[in-house]
Structure 1
């Protein structure tokens, strides 16, 4: 899987973009996409509107084209199928995102959950777990939910 991910980023990186030898600069983008995908699938009712929300979020966050994002989402979906836990993804978030970026990530997770017009208990549970794994304070978890709800209406 790592080879496929690396190949994707080598093909779609903008000219001159610096990538560390470990590939961390793109791994965190992949981790972000996978966490968004995990939320969208957590209620066992993945809808196209949730995929569209993920596309919008990733285009804004990483300045990818829609084609690049669709391929990244396909890879993230495969990774979500194979993932045994969230730790490998949240570890990268903790290593590369500052606190403000983590708050934005959790808000984005809520935006995906709100995309279909309702919050399922499984969606809330997985967002709460991710929020805890990235060490976000409960007040920021709640604030992210409120902001996402307001932006979805």
Structure 2
């Protein structure tokens, strides 16, 4: 999987930009995409509206083209299929995101969960686990949910 992720980012880097095996800046983008995918699949009803929400979020976060974000989502789908836990992804988030970016991530997870118009208990459970793994306070977890719900209107 890491080889596929490295190839993806090498293909879309600026000309002359070099990526190393130890460069994890691209991995955090992949981790973010995979966590978004985990939420969308947690209720066993992966819907097109959720995929569209993920594409929109990733394009805004990382300034990717349509083609780049579509390929990243495909990699994230594969990673979500193979993932045994969330820790490997949240570890990268903890290493690279400051607290405000973590709050935004949780809000984005809620945006994906709300995309189909309802919150499933499994979606909430996964978001709660991710929130705990990235050390977000309960208050900020709830605030992110409220902000996501309000942005629907």
Q: Report the count of equivalent residues.
A: 153
Check if 1:94 corresponds to 2:94.
Answer: yes
Structure-1 separation of matches of 2:14 and 2:146: 35
Give the structure-2-normalised TM-score.
0.96
Q: Provide the residue aligned with 1:25 in structure 2.
A: 25
Contact 1:19 1:25 in 2 (8 A): no
Contact 2:111 2:148 in 1 (8 A): yes
Give the structure-1-normalised TM-score.
0.96
Query: After alignment, is 9-18 or 134-143 more displaced?
Result: 9-18
Check if 1:81 corresponds to 2:81.
Answer: yes
Q: Matched residue of 1:118: which SS? A: coil
Question: RMSD across aligned C-alpha pairs, in angstroms?
Answer: 1.2
> For 1:106-121, what aligned pairs fall within 5 Å after superposition?
106-121=106-121
Unaligned 5+ residue runs, structure 2? none
Structure-2 separation of matches of 1:58 and 1:3: 21
Kindly provide the CA deviation profile for residues 57-110 of structure 1, in whole angstroms up to 9, marking residues without a partner as x: 000000001111110000000000000000000000000000000000000000
Q: Using a 3 Å threshold, how does the CA distance of structure 1 residues 108 and 17 change in structure 2: closer, same or farther? A: farther
Unaligned 5+ residue runs, structure 1? none
Contact 1:37 1:76 in 2 (8 A): yes
Q: Using a 3 Å threshold, how does the CA distance of structure 1 residues 19 and 150 change in structure 2: closer, same or farther? A: farther
Q: Which runs of 4+ in 1 moved over 2 A?
A: 14-21
Structure-2 separation of matches of 1:20 and 1:95: 18
Structure-2 separation of matches of 1:66 and 1:27: 19
> For 1:4-153, what aligned pairs fall within 5 Å after superposition?
4-15=4-15, 19=19, 21-153=21-153
